[in-house]
C-alpha cells in the first residue's frame, strides 16, 4: 500500500504541475508559461542545493542568498569583457593591495604559532594587523577611486574575462564552493540555531560587499549588458528561415521568437537540472550519502564510530553551496543583468527553504517539485492576489480608499500565502509532499520532528 503511494505520488504531482503550466500557456500565454518554467528550473536547482545541506546532513544554512549572489558575480566576472583602461588605472594598486592583504593574513597566522609567550601574542598580532590594514588601505583606496573613475556611467569596474557566459555556471559553482569553504571552516562547529543565524549574517555581508564594491561588479549601478548563451529575438526575426518557420506554423514572428529563445534557455537550464539531479541522486544512495544521513540522524553515534562529523559537514556544506552558486549564475544569465540590490533574504533564502520543506526534505525529487510548485505559486499569487482582491472588494465603491489601498497592496498576499502554506505542510505532512525514502527497517515511521536534533 505504502509502495503505491510513494510510486504514484511523484507522478501525479508532476502531472498536476505540468497541467498548471499548460493552463497558464493556454489561458495567459506561452511566453509567460515558459518564463515561469525557466525560473522554476533555477528554483529547483537552488532547492536541490539546500536539500543537499539540510536534507542529507541537517545543516541549517540561512545564507542561500549570499551564495546565489556569488554565482551572479561569477557571471559578471566571466562573461563581461575586461575593461583595459580600468586595469591600467588601478590594476597594479589592486594587486598590491591583494598582496599586502594576504601578507598580513599570513603574518598573523605565523605569529599565532611562532610567539610562545602567550601574553605577547595578542599585542603583536594586533600590531601586525593594524599595520597591514593601513598598508592595504593605502593601496586599495586610491586604486578603487581610479578604477571607478574610468567612464563611470558605463564601466567603472575592472570588467571580466570576456568568456562565454555558460562557463560562468561552472565558475559560479567554484566561487561559491571557495567561499563556502571559508565560511564553513568558521561556522560549522556551531549547532543548528547558531549556524542559521551566522549564515544569515554572512549572506547579508556578502550582498553588502557586492552592493558597495563598485570596482568589482559596479555595485548598485548594476551590470545590465551581460551576453547571452542563446540568440537575441531581434536576430532571429532578421533571419529568413525563421520568418519562413513562423509563416509555416502560422504564428506572429515576434511571439515565436520569444518562445524559441525561452525554450532554448529551458533546454539549457533543464539539462543542468537533470545532470545535478542525477549526480545528487547517485550521491544520496552511495555509501557517502548513507553516512551523511547516519550523521544527521544520530550525530553522537556517528562520532563515536569515528566519523569526522565536522569534516563531513564541511564537505556537504561546500557541495550544497556549489549547487546554489550554479543556480545563481544561471539566474543572472537568464536575467541578462546583475543587480545586487535585488538580493533579499525573503526571496533568495527563505523562499528556497519553503520549497525544500514543502517539497520534502531529504528527497531530491521532493526538493525539485517544491522548487517548481512554490515558484509557480509565488509568481501566480502576484497576479492572483490583485484579482482576488478585486473580487473581494467589488462590493465597495470604485473610489473608496479602502478598496484602493487593498488593490495596491494585494501583490503582497503572496508572503501570506507562503507562510500559511509552509505552516500547513509542516503540520499535516511534516516530511513534505514527497517524503524521504527511508530504509526498510521501520525508519520511515520517524517524524521530522524527532530528528535533526
Binding positions for other proteins, rule: CB under 8 A: 58, 60, 119-120, 122-123, 141, 186-187, 189-194, 196-198, 200-202, 204-205, 208-209, 211-212, 344-346, 350, 353-354, 357, 405-406, 408-410, 412-420, 422-423, 426-427, 430, 448-453
Residues 6+ apart with CB under 8 A from 369: 10, 13, 14, 17, 359, 360, 433, 434
CA distance 11 to 34: 21
Nearer of residues 226 and 357 to other proteins, judged by Cβ: 357
CB 433 → other proteins: shortest distance, Å? 15
All three cell numbers of 84, joined, read: 583595459
120 or 154: CB nearest other proteins:
120
Closest distance of CB 352 from other proteins, Å:
11
Q: How far is the CB of 292 from other proteins (least distance, A)?
A: 17
Q: Based on CB atoms, which residue is closest to other proteins, 96 or 448?
A: 448
- Taking the complex as a whole, the smallest distance from the CB of residue 190 to other proteins amounts, in Å, to 6
CA distance 432 to 417: 17
Nearer to other proteins, 95 or 186 (CB): 186
* Grid coordinates belonging to 146: 581610479
Smallest gap from Cβ 318 to other proteins, in A, equals: 18
In the complex with other proteins, the residue whose CB is nearer, 211 or 307, is 211
Spatial CA neighbour of 427 closest among 407, 447, 452, 405? 447
Q: Would you say 245 or 413 has its CB closer to other proteins?
A: 413
Q: Which is nearer to other proteins, 23 or 420 (CB)?
A: 420
> Could you tell me the smallest distance in angstroms from the CB atom of residue 339 to other proteins?
16
Minimal distance, residue 37 CB to other proteins, in Å: 24
Q: Which is nearer to other proteins, 34 or 198 (CB)?
A: 198
- In sequence order, the β-bridge partners of residue 341 are none
Q: 53: burial class by Cβ within 10 Å (0-12, 13-18, 19+)?
A: buried
CA distance 268 to 254: 22
Least Å distance, CB 70 to other proteins, is: 16
* Smallest distance, other proteins to C-beta of residue 444, A: 17
Listed in sequence order, the residues at least 6 apart from 428 whose beta carbon sits closer than 8 Å to its beta carbon are none
Closest separation in Å from C-beta 388 to other proteins: 12
- For other proteins, the closer CB: 5 or 428: 428
CB 365 within 8 A of CB 439: no
As measured in angstroms, the least distance from the Cβ of 231 to other proteins is: 38
Minimum CB separation of residue 348 from other proteins in Å reads 13
Q: Which is nearer to other proteins, 265 or 376 (CB)?
A: 376
Q: Which is nearer to other proteins, 265 or 378 (CB)?
A: 378
Toward other proteins, which CB reaches closer, 185 or 311?
A: 185
Report the distance separating Cα 179 and Cα 229, nearest Å. 26
Amino acid at each position: 500500500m505504502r509502495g503505491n503511494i510513494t510510486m504514484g505520488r511523484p507522478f501525479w504531482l508532476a502531472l498536476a504541475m505540468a497541467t498548471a503550466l499548460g493552463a497558464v500557456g493556454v489561458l495567459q500565454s506561452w511566453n509567460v508559461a515558459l518564463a515561469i518554467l525557466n525560473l522554476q528550473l533555477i528554483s529547483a536547482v537552488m532547492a536541490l542545493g539546500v536539500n543537499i545541506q539540510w536534507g542529507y546532513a541537517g545543516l541549517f544554512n540561512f545564507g542561500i542568498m549570499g551564495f546565489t549572489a556569488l554565482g551572479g558575480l561569477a557571471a559578471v566576472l566571466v562573461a563581461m569583457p575586461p575593461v583595459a583602461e580600468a586595469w591600467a588605472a588601478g590594476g597594479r594598486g589592486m594587486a598590491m593591495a591583494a598582496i599586502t592583504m594576504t601578507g598580513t593574513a599570513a603574518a598573523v597566522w605565523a605569529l599565532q604559532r611562532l610567539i610562545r609567550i602567550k601574553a605577547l601574542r595578542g599585542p603583536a598580532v594586533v600590531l601586525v594587523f593594524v599595520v597591514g590594514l593601513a598598508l592595504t588601505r593605502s593601496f586599495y583606496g586610491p586604486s578603487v577611486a581610479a578604477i571607478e573613475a574610468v567612464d563611470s556611467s558605463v564601466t567603472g569596474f575592472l570588467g571580466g574575462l570576456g568568456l562565454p557566459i555558460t562557463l560562468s555556471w561552472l565558475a559560479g559553482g567554484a566561487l561559491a564552493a571557495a567561499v563556502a569553504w571559508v565560511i564553513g571552516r568558521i561556522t560549522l562547529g556551531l549547532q543548528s540555531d547558531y549556524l542559521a543565524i551566522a549564515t544569515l549574517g554572512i549572506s547579508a555581508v556578502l550582498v553588502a560587499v557586492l552592493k558597495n564594491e563598485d570596482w568589482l561588479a559596479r555595485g548598485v549601478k548594476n551590470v545590465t549588458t551581460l551576453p547571452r548563451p542563446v540568440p537575441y529575438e531581434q536576430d532571429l526575426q532578421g533571419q529568413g528561415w525563421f520568418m519562413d518557420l513562423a509563416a509555416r506554423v502560422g504564428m506572429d514572428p515576434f511571439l515565436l521568437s520569444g518562445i524559441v529563445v525561452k525554450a532554448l534557455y529551458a533546454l539549457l537550464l533543464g539539462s543542468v537540472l537533470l545532470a545535478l539531479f542525477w549526480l545528487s541522486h547517485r550521491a544520496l544512495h552511495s555509501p557517502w550519502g548513507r553516512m551523511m544521513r547516519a550523521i544527521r540522524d544520530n550525530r553522537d553515534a556517528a562520532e563515536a564510530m569515528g566519523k569526522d562529523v565536522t569534516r563531513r559537514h564541511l564537505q556537504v556544506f561546500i557541495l550544497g553551496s556549489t549547487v546554489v552558486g550554479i543556480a545563481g549564475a544561471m539566474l543572472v544569465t537568464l536575467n541578462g543583468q546583475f543587480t545586487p540590490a535585488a538580493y533579499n533574504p525573503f526571496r533568495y533564502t527563505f523562499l528556497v527553504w519553503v520549497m525544500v520543506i514543502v517539497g520534502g526534505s531529504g528527497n531530491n525529487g521532493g526538493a525539485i517539485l517544491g522548487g517548481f510548485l512554490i515558484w509557480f505559486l509565488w509568481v501566480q499569487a502576484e497576479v492572483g492576489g490583485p484579482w482576488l482582491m478585486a473580487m473581494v472588494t467589488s462590493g465597495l465603491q470604485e473610489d473608496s480608499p479602502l478598496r484602493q489601498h487593498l488593490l495596491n497592496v494585494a501583490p503582497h498576499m503572496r508572503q501570506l500565502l507562503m507562510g500559511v502554506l509552509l505552516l500547513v505542510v509542516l503540520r499535516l505532512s511534516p516530511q513534505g509532499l514527497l517524503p524521504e525514502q527511508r530504509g526498510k527497517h521501520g525508519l520511515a515511521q520517524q517524524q521530522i520532528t524527532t530528528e535533526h536534533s
